[in-house]
Amino acid sequence: DAGVIQSPRHEVTEMGQEVTLRCKPISGHNSLFWYRQTMMRGLELLIYFNNNVPIDDSGMPEDRFSAKMPNASFSTLKIQPSEPRDSAVYFCASSPAFKNTEAFFGQGTRLTVV
């Protein structure tokens, strides 16, 4: 298994543009998590899904952020419109069970909004 796959690896965009980050979880994993990592805030959980259903989106910072999981093998995190303070590394992670098991992280997407 190739692990959790994220794309793109790097994204540079101008303020105000829409950004879409993509994630393919490990096959068979039924939980998916989106994290944001910055120096100031560390690793923040933005949203997580179980069996494609969003369970908790309390970590989503603003309405500009949205996430979807249309099927078990694909999820997107969208920022519209993007702002410079959204610059961060965004990680997707998946796990084989709903709780109390290891979360496997993707390589991350480094987003820079200028």
How many other C-beta atoms can be found within 10 angstroms of the C-beta atom of residue 20?
A: 15
Report the nearest approach of other proteins to the CB of residue 59 (Å): 9
In the complex, the smallest distance separating the C-beta of residue 8 from other proteins, rounded to whole angstroms, is 15
Q: Does 5 bind other proteins (CB under 8 A)?
A: no
Q: Does 114 contact other proteins by CB under 8 A?
A: no
In the chain the beta strands, taken as DSSP E runs, fall at: 5-7, 10-13, 19-24, 31-38, 42-50, 53-56, 65-71, 74-79, 88-95, 104-105, 109-113
d(CA 10, CA 8): 5
Report the residue from 7, 50, 66, 76 that binds other proteins according to the rule CB under 8 A. 50
Please report whether residue 42 would count as binding other proteins according to CB under 8 A.
yes
Instruction: Determine if 105 is a binding residue for other proteins (CB under 8 A).
Output: yes
Interface residues with other proteins (CB under 8 A) are: 33, 42-43, 45, 48, 50, 55-56, 91, 98-108
